[in-house]
């Protein structure tokens, strides 16, 4: 081989290598690199374990192994408000995580305020367009994408189901977290006109963050002589679902919840998006981003799986007879 031909061969190899490299995004999965996934939630670790388990399992199916090519950084605000959430987001930024996964409105809002470069994936969010996190569902733009649980729209349906399930219902207690942010207000704006349309008097009851906050809220509901209760959907109530269900039984108050997991704890009725499904789909988006996809190019997807579950054991405990026409509409009836 001549010197000239040898030089041409080297140049050809270099060009091939450059073209090969261009076929893959700069931040695509790199051999030996451990990617860091930050997760921030405004509630508690224990209250989220069932959802995080499905998230981790889905990532494992996609080839991500904790300690080998992936590390998790979990942060929970323990229901201590937006300032605490903001501080936890700042911790994740200092750790230079590769992506931030958020659950509920406050963490997503605080993460969006804190960074315009690190990808943010919303596992659940009520209305990201109305609250300014994305430009549109189909073209989010920026560094935020993920999934919406359609909470404002579903609350109207929950009120309808509650009225159909409880005979002669005229007054409903709406539990809302004290100092609730934009996500809670968005839900209430949808609930109030629904109450008027259904001819239901709605008593909005603040639930304080203190340990006795839930007990006080139920006492208030009983004093106001409400015929049933409904909670706004959110991470704080989800994390406290076991206690909420216990108190609803103690005070003999029919209740409808946003997630099936409340019924799993013995609650009466739930209607809402399948959160386990949303967390699995969130894992798919995290996988895509770690392999080079941009959040701006991944449309915000709406929940597609919904569950209407009735627990007749809970109904019997409080002396409630759920009409047959309502039972026929349920996806699942627990006897």
**Tokens 């930050």 found at:** 38
Tokens of 54: 């499905």
Q: What pLDDT is recorded for position 19?
A: 42
Residue of 204, 125, 198, 189 lying closest to 161 (CA atoms): 198
Cα-Cα end-to-end distance for the chain: 83
Tokens of 11: 């140049």
Average pLDDT over residues 138-149: 95
Q: How confident is the model at residue 29 (pLDDT cuts 50, 70, 90)?
A: low
- The DSSP code for 66 is B
Integer CA distances (angstroms), 148 to 84, 106, 212, 321, in order: 23, 14, 31, 34
Distance from C-alpha of 22 to C-alpha of 39, rounded to nearest angstrom: 31
Residue of 219, 172, 334, 206 lying closest to 267 (CA atoms): 334
Average pLDDT, the chain: 90
- The DSSP code for 153 is H
Strand partners of residue 66: 70
Q: How confident is the model at residue 224 (pLDDT cuts 50, 70, 90)?
A: very high
Distance from C-alpha of 27 to C-alpha of 30, rounded to nearest angstrom: 8
CA atoms within 13 A on the CB side of 93: 16
Kind of pairing, strands 269-273 and 306-311?
Answer: antiparallel
Strand partners of residue 68: none
**Tokens 């470069």 found at:** 117
**Tokens 């203190």 found at:** 210
Q: How far is CA 62 from the centre of its chain?
A: 21
Q: How confident is the model at residue 14 (pLDDT cuts 50, 70, 90)?
A: very low
Kind of pairing, strands 255-257 and 228-231?
Answer: parallel
Structural domains of the chain, with CATH: 35-149+275-305 (3.40.50.2300), 151-273+307-334 (3.40.50.2300)
Q: What pLDDT is recorded for position 141?
A: 93
pLDDT digits (tens, 9 = 90+) for 32-59: 799 999 999 999 998 889 999 999 999 9
Residue 199: exposure state from Cβ atoms within 10 A (0-12, 13-18, ≥19):
exposed
Q: How confident is the model at residue 11 (pLDDT cuts 50, 70, 90)?
A: very low
Whether the CB-CB separation of 228 and 174 falls below 8 Å is answered with no
- The DSSP code for 225 is T
Tokens of 167: 């005979």
Distance from C-alpha of 238 to C-alpha of 260, rounded to nearest angstrom: 10
Q: How confident is the model at residue 274 (pLDDT cuts 50, 70, 90)?
A: very high
- The DSSP code for 196 is H
Distance from C-alpha of 32 to C-alpha of 90, rounded to nearest angstrom: 27
Q: What pLDDT is recorded for position 26?
A: 42
């Amino acid at each position: 081989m001549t010197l000239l031909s040898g030089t041409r061969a080297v140049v050809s190899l270099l060009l091939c290598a450059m073209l090969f490299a261009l076929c893959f995004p700069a931040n695509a999965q790199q051999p030996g690199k451990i990617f860091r996934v930050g997760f921030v939630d405004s509630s508690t670790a224990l209250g989220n374990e069932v959802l995080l388990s499905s998230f981790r399992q889905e990532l494992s199916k996609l080839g991500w192994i904790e300690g080998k090519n992936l590390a998790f950084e979990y942060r929970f605000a323990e229901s201590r408000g937006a300032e605490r959430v903001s501080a936890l987001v700042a911790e994740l930024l200092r750790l230079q995580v590769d992506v931030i996964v958020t659950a509920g409105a406050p963490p997503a809002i605080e993460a969006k305020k804190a960074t315009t470069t690190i990808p943010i994936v919303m596992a659940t969010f009520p209305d990201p367009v109305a609250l300014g996190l994305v430009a549109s569902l189909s073209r989010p733009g920026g560094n935020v994408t993920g999934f919406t649980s359609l909470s404002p729209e579903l609350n109207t349906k929950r009120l309808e189901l509650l009225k159909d399930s409880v005979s002669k219902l005229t007054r409903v207690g709406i539990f809302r977290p004290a100092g609730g942010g934009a996500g809670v207000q968005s839900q209430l704006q949808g609930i109030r006109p629904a109450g008027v349309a259904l001819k239901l008097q709605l008593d909005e009851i603040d639930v304080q963050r203190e340990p006795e906050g839930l007990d006080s809220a139920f006492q208030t509901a009983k004093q106001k002589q409400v015929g049933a209760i409904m909670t706004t959907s959110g991470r704080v109530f989800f994390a406290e679902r076991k206690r909420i269900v216990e108190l609803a039984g103690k005070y003999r108050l029919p209740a409808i919840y946003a997630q099936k997991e409340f019924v799993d704890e013995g609650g009466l009725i739930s209607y809402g998006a399948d959160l386990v499904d949303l967390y699995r789909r969130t894992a798919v988006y995290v996988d895509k981003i770690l392999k080079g996809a941009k959040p701006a190019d991944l449309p915000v997807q709406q929940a597609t799986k919904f569950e209407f579950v009735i627990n007749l054991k809970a109904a019997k405990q409080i002396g409630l007879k759920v009409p047959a026409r309502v039972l026929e509409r349920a996806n699942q009836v627990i006897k």
